Structure 1
Amino acid sequence: MTEAVTGTDARRLTLLGHGIAGLGAGLTSALLATPVEHLKIRLQMQIQRAVADREFKGPIDCARQVTRHRGVIGLWSGFTGSLAFRANFLWMFGSIELLMRGFASLKGTPFETSTGTANFLSGGLASFSFWIMAIPADNIKNRMMASPLNAARPSFTSTMRHVYTTVGVRGFFAGLTPCFLRAFPTNACAYYAYEGLMRAFDAEKTRH
């Protein structure tokens, strides 16, 4: 999964390698993220103004009710949707590396940018590729997690069919614009900070 860097003796991870690393990171994170996200979605779905009128009084009460109806494994309701959603980290990691290499290739030209600017733009722009690919699975995942506790847990495929038959293809892309608005600044700042710390630790990657 490595390749030679032109003009040097160094080697670097291929774009495919970066994508696979992102895929592995996403699938691994789903194991821990699913229960928390499940509770978050159920709490966010409550629209009652008064706390006394709400089905769940807070995250602990929500977890208690979920486990009472579905057992401990019920906290992982929507796990297949979470896996499908987080697998799209493949596009995020691959896109960031592709963009960073593109900015590195501009060195010595009138379009050369500082390393920090390249980090910021790469993180922000790569988030677009992630959400374009991930938003269908995100919508399916959210519906799976929000299903009534007294009903059978829906499967990924049955939820996908339900979205398509009731809303159509556009249902898979609901919420894409807000995701874009949030994703660019969030991911741009996160990647800027990550690469900045990597440089501070003298561990910057070889890209050119």
Structure 2
Amino acid sequence: MKALSGSLGGIVEASCLQPIDVIKTRLQLDRSGTYKGIIHCGTTITKTEGVRALWKGLTPFATHLTLKYALRMGSNAVLQSAFKDSQTGNLSHQGRLLSGFGAGVLEALVIVTPFEVVKIRLQQQRGLSPELLKYKGPIHCARMIIQEEGVFGLWAGAAPTVMRNGTNQAAMFTAKNAFDGILWNKHEGDGKVLQPWQSMISGFLAGTAGPVCTGPFDVVKTRLMAQSRSGGELKYKGMFHAIQTIYAEEGLRALWKGLLPRLMRIPPGQAIMWAVADQVTGFYERRYLYNAPL
């Protein structure tokens, strides 16, 4: 049930927030100052490539969000059960953090990295004529990467993705549980179901800390995923080399490029996802666990 609720939330989130993700990716890949900011980036893409370009990579983005949230919510529930005290059934703060981190690492390796490699390769392409684009779509893109770079080309940037997602989910699950308790006196397993607006507030607040803490990992992930191994020598040799190179060439602030669009996408995305997920989970608990009237 946790997995299903996460999947439904992911579909809604992807459809609403894809343009912000496209803008974030373009800003993170911009080393020449083409884009002056979020609004200029969005208007430039619209003028030069059309409005539909703001939804480039939607198919892999929506698919990866759906699968990612299913895996995230399901694996976190399994790990939380494993970390609960066998005598009292309580889950410690450390257990909650480890469960979230483990869920983030698992989703990063199984789902996030290959889908984001395809998404970013599609999003970085500029132009209106399909025949001039190297990648014609998500499936064609994946095939081209495998042909030119091998299967592991789909896992470019895996290390910073693992660090980003593990840290993000450890913070997010812990913060969401904390905000539910502080704001609404809602505790896991108590049978109480939050109103959608309450879930949205808790989810929004829980989603703000991760982007600030993991900004450098996200920038490095994007740079590593965007570079093609078929084009000769790679500019970035790995996570640490990429961090050093970006810092030396572009300054410290460059490691947080795209932070504002991330803050415009992730917290609202978490708000949407949790509003859907909490309602689906609540429906299941009322209907099958507590036999309460719907």
TM-score tier, shorter chain, comes to 0.7 to 0.9
* Deviates most, 25-34 or 177-186: 177-186
Aligned alpha-carbon RMSD (Å)? 2.3
* Deviates most, 153-162 or 194-203: 194-203
| Counterpart for residue 43 of structure 1 | 122
| Counterpart for residue 211 of structure 2 | 131
Please tell me whether the aligned partners of residues 2 and 12 of structure 1 are also in contact (alpha carbons under 8 angstroms): yes
Instruction: Quote how far apart the aligned CAs of 1:49 are.
Output: 2.0
Where does 1:42-121 land on structure 2 (aligned, <5 Å)? 42-88=121-167, 89-105=169-185, 115-116=194-195, 117-121=197-201
| Counterpart for residue 21 of structure 1 | 99
**C-alpha offsets along residues 140-189 of structure 1, whole Å, 9 cap, x if unaligned?**
10000011332347311111111111222211111111111222322112
Task: Calculate percent identity across the aligned residue pairs.
Answer: 27
**C-alpha offsets along residues 104-162 of structure 1, whole Å, 9 cap, x if unaligned?**
459xxxxxxx9324322110111101211122211110000011332347311111111
Instruction: Quote how far apart the aligned CAs of 1:22 are.
Output: 1.1
| Matched residue SS, 1:87 | helix
Please tell me whether the aligned partners of residues 15 and 98 of structure 1 are also in contact (alpha carbons under 8 angstroms): no
Alpha-carbon separation, structure 2, partners of 1:144 and 1:39: 12
Alpha-carbon separation, structure 2, partners of 1:61 and 1:41: 14
Instruction: Quote how far apart the aligned CAs of 1:10 are.
Output: 6.7
| Counterpart for residue 226 of structure 2 | 146
| Matched residue SS, 2:125 | coil
Alpha-carbon separation, structure 1, partners of 2:164 and 2:96: 18
Q: Which has the larger radius of gyration?
A: 1
Give me the TM-score of the superposition, normalised by structure 2: 0.60
Q: Structure 1 unaligned segments of length 5 or more: list them.
A: 4-8, 107-113
Alpha-carbon separation, structure 1, partners of 2:242 and 2:174: 29
Please tell me whether the aligned partners of residues 108 and 165 of structure 2 are also in contact (alpha carbons under 8 angstroms): yes
Instruction: Quote how far apart the aligned CAs of 1:195 are.
Output: 1.7
Please tell me whether the aligned partners of residues 16 and 94 of structure 1 are also in contact (alpha carbons under 8 angstroms): no
Alpha-carbon separation, structure 1, partners of 2:156 and 2:254: 21
> Across the two proteins, how many residue pairs are aligned to each other?
192
